Amino acid sequence: MSNNPETMHKRFKYLLMGTLRRQLIVGMALVVTVTMSAFIWDQTRREQSALFDQQSELAMVLAKSLATSSAVWTISRDYGGMQAIVASLQHYPELKHAMVLDTSGRVLAHSEPSRRGMYLSDLPTAPESRLMQRSATLLDVVSPIWFSEKHIGWVRLGLGSDALNAQLRDSVRRGMLATLAGVLLSIGLAALTGRTLTRRLHTIQQVASEVQAGASHLRATLGGDDEAAWLARQFNSMLDSLDQREAALKLAASVFTHAREGIMITDVNEVIVEVNDAFTRITGYTRDDSIGQTPRLLRSGRQSKEFYTNLWQQLHDKDHWYGEIWNQRKSGELYAEMLTITAVRDAQQRASHYVGLFFDITAVKEHEHELDHIAHYDALTNLPNRVLLADRLHQGMAHELRRGRKLVVVFLDLDGFKSVNDHHGHEVGDQLLITVAARMKQTLREGDTLARIGGDEFVAVLGDLDDGTACVPMLNRLLGAASMPVKFGDKQLQVSASIGVTSFPQTQEIEADQLLRQADQAMYQAKLAGKNRYTFFDAEQDSGIRSRFESVERIRQGLHDDEFVLFYQPKVNMRSGKVIGAEALIRWQHPTMGLLSPAHFLPAIENHPLSVNLGEWVINTALDQMALWRQQGFDLPISVNVGARQLQQSSFATQLREMLSAHPQVNANHLEIEILETSALEDLARVSQVIEQCSEFGVRFAMDAFGTGYSSLTYLRRLRVHVLKIDQSFVRDMLDDADDLAILQGVIGLANSFRRSVIAEGVETIEHGSLLLQLGCEAAQGYGIAKPMPAVQLPDWVANWQPDAAWRIQRPIPSEQIPLLYARIEHRAWIAGIKSYVLGEQASHPALDAKQCNFGQWLQGDVYQNGVQAASRTLLHLHEQAHTLGSEIVALQRQGKNAQALSRLPELDQMRDQLLAQFDLQFKRRPGDADEYLSQTRGSDYKSATGCI
């Protein structure tokens, strides 16, 4: 048996670190042993000390007794007496020696007589009793001999310790027996206690062993609330948790092993640490091939360095990356995979691993390629189909737009192909298409596209052209390729092609599908022209048609969405200040363009059925508003405009009656229909009949824009209109145009002759109104009175409106004074003509000779004929000065000195004002003039002279 230190250490460790029961027994035995040993040792020491003290005291007593007994003998030097006394102590069993010594240390008597006469040198220096030696075998004491208080010698006595030691050994033996008994008892008690304590723990241990052996379903069942029961419950809970974790691990391991997706795990240095079976199946690399390598093992070279840089950057930023990637198998074959990489982080949120999960999508990519070819290429001719054509057309348009070049779209349809199919069958027809398509493709350049979009229709996209006509040689080649005969056995078939051509870019923005439609339209024009030819699309002609169609559709949508509103422009009597009605004017509240006037949308639907729908909406909306006003206590005649198409509807009068019936609150006499003079001329009889029918139930009619048409007396007599509206173009320019003034005077006279009311529209200033009142026209409307306003504002405006003070005092001028108005206007017109010429508004200037202008001719004739030559010399002089200044200004303009000419226009205005002032002053004194009229017109004329030009 080996007793080396290592073996002893193992045994000792086994002894101390064995089972809990053994540890308990050994521990308790050691505790008892140590405790009892310490107790016995302590007791033995105490007993030994007590016995030695007792023996020392006995020895000291004997020594002192001997000293007393031998004092006489010592003083007398009776050695025999001293020897006898010493010998008397021989019966004491523990006596080792006894001697009497003199003060010098010579032995006078000894228990061993042979030692008399010896000297001892270790005596105390002081005469006192003293313990000289105390050992396990001897107790040696010395005591002085006194006689008469005189130190005369020493007694030295030595006692043996055998009996004492024997007694101590008995005591130790008894203690060891007690210790052994205690140890045995403690071992028994420990064993019993350990068995009791560990029996419940053993149950847990046994369950643990069986669980370890595979019986994972077992659990420790212990009752009670002690530590063992608590431990059993914790143990069971731990087993449950371990079972769950084991199940999860088994599941994860099963998924990892049996997953159809390849799984690769790398550390943070991108070194592969684990792969699954699917990884090997997909890549061809075994686990041994892969472990320790990096994913670069699979790199195909199809992705750039930037691709991988972005991949790892996203992985670091977002902890994951997902996408397609091309890799290379062990065999060298490339394959596509869908890859997901996820970062795994530890408890400190540091990336510890990367997990890549991928699956092979090579078959999918190949299928996609096949589907892409099917989706983008014609199955019969292998030419691009409509889908790919659209993509290439968009790309070509963007490319040519950037380069500033032209792109041409060619739409080609085979002539006579249907006859081939009908007479020879579809198989022959298909072969013909294949052959013709191949020939036409060969005529095009490498970068051009020829697509089959269905049946016998093809589209070619030709780019990089200088202009639209640069494609003509290619068009001729296409026509030639399409018309070449095709042989099928003994048959020879031949077709031709009709081609439509359009180009990009155009003056307006255009989409790709619009280009195709343009080319298609041009192709049909080629067919109509005789086939086997090409025709270029006329963009300008189509633009007008398309723009009008889009406008009509947008207006239709706006009408459906209630985007139209009515504004109302008041009509007034300028002299009395009475508001005599209002005209309903349509506006379009466009959602993106804001409020639009009729000029922005009505021309688009002129002579279109939609104009009828919009006109009916206007009448209905106006009647609704009139009914609402009536309920509010506001009653005002309203006029609405009706177009020619609506007016000529056979059901117009009936529908108007039904509308009025639906608004019983509205007085029919308060509804006025305004029709254009030109509309009435289109069908005079029909319009006259409609007016008669509507007049029967009280509706009034007005002739709008009178004077812009033929203004025939015949149709004025046949049409029972109640009001003539003078067009604003005449009113607006009457202050500076004598012709417009003449037309205005004529219309007013015509209305008076036919007993029609007359109203002027376009009154923009106080001067316009004043002149109309002088001509005898009191009713008017225009921006100088009020702009069209929403319905909600009209009642307040009516309640607060007052005419200008100048209008209230105006009176119609006598007929003989009318030439004065013309004279003034002629001079103003001449001044305006000079200014327009200098400002570049007209190419020619008026007559510069003072005698040739209208005002000069009138002044020369009228003034002298009326005998006021002396009074008019100042007026003539001013007139000549004005013409001289005007000539100088025109000369400057002709010389290119426009700035100098412009700088002198204020002088011309000042001279005009002086002449008109003199004109008024002179003709106020003419015999027969009405002083009141002239005083009224003078202020008005001065205002006109200074404010209108």
Residue-wise pLDDT for 165-213, tens only, equals 787 788 878 878 887 887 788 777 777 776 776 777 777 777 788 877 8
d(CA 487, CA 821): 91
CB of 744 closer than 8 Å to CB of 731: yes
What is the pLDDT confidence band of residue 261, given thresholds at 50, 70 and 90?
Answer: confident
| DSSP 3-state of 619 | helix
Query: Across the beta sheet with 449-454, what order do the strands follow?
Result: 449-454, 457-465, 406-415, 496-504, 533-536
- Long-range contact list for 274-283, CB < 8 A, 24+ apart? 282/329, 282/335, 282/337, 282/358, 282/359, 282/360, 283/327, 283/329, 283/330
Checking if the pLDDT of 716 tops 60, the result is yes
Burial of 686 (0-12, 13-18, 19+ CB in 10 A): middle
Higher-confidence residue: 394 or 682?
394
Q: What are phi and psi of 294, to 5 degrees?
A: -115, 165
Is pLDDT at 51 greater than 80 in this prediction? no
The whole-angstrom separation of Cα 761 and Cα 788 is 12
| DSSP label of 274 | E
pLDDT band at residue 53 using 50, 70 and 90 as cut-offs: confident
Summarize pLDDT for 129-154 with one digit per residue, the tens.
888 887 777 888 899 998 888 888 99
- The Cα angle at residue 146 between residues 143 and 148, in degrees rounded to 5: 165
| Residue pair 163/93 in contact by the 8 Å Cβ criterion | yes
Of these ranges, 403-417, 537-551, 872-886, the one predicted with the greatest mean pLDDT is 403-417
pLDDT value for 709: 57
How much of the chain, in percent, has pLDDT values that exceed 70?
90
pLDDT at 166: 80
For the chain, give the mean pLDDT: 83
Which residues contact residue 222 at a Cβ distance below 8 angstroms, ignoring those fewer than 6 apart?
A: 200, 203, 204, 228, 229, 232
pLDDT at 328: 92
Q: How many CA atoms lie within 13 A of 224 on its CB side?
A: 9
The pLDDT score that the predictor gives to residue 871 is 46
In this predicted structure, which of 127-141, 326-340, 478-492, 920-934 has the lowest mean pLDDT?
Answer: 920-934
Which residue has better confidence, 365 or 636? Answer: 636
pLDDT reported for residue 851: 76
CA dist 421 and 412 (Å) reads 18
Instruction: Indicate the pLDDT class of residue 666, thresholds 50, 70 and 90.
Output: very high
Residue 819 three-state SS:
helix
Across the range 388-409, mean pLDDT stands at: 92
- Name the residue among 629, 697, 703 with its Cα closest to residue 659: 697
Tokens standing for residue 311:
């991949």
687-706 tens-digit pLDDT: 888 889 999 999 999 988 77
Q: What pLDDT, in 10s, does the model give residues 489-501? A: 888 889 999 999 9
Per-residue model confidence as pLDDT tens digits over 456-467? 999 999 999 988
Q: What element of type H or E holds 615?
A: helix 609-631
pLDDT of residue 601: 85
CB 91 within 8 A of CB 111: no
In sequence order, which residues have a C-beta less than 8 Å from that of residue 73 and are 6 or more positions away? 79, 81, 82, 85, 100
- Model confidence at 882, pLDDT cuts 50, 70, 90, reads confident
CA distance 119 to 359: 117
Gyration radius from the chain CA atoms: 69
What does the pLDDT look like over 425-475, one tens digit per residue? Answer: 888 999 999 999 999 999 999 889 999 998 899 999 999 998 878 899 999
| pLDDT higher than 70, residue 543 | no
Q: Measuring CA to CA, which residue among 477, 456, 473 is closest to residue 465?
A: 473
Q: The tokens of 563 are what? A: 């985007």
Rounded to an integer, the average pLDDT of 399-415 is 92
pLDDT at 929 over 50: no
Which is more confidently placed, 852 or 827?
827
| pLDDT of 608 above 50 | yes
Residue 641, pLDDT above cutoff 50 = yes
φ and ψ of 130, to 5 deg: -155, 145
Residue 874 pLDDT > 60, yes or no? yes
Segment 923-945 shows an average pLDDT of 38
Q: Which residue has the higher pLDDT, 935 or 248?
A: 248
Give the DSSP letter of residue 904: T
Q: In whole angstroms, how far apart are CA 720 and each of 659, 703, 751, 944? A: 22, 10, 12, 37
The per-residue pLDDT for 16 is 56
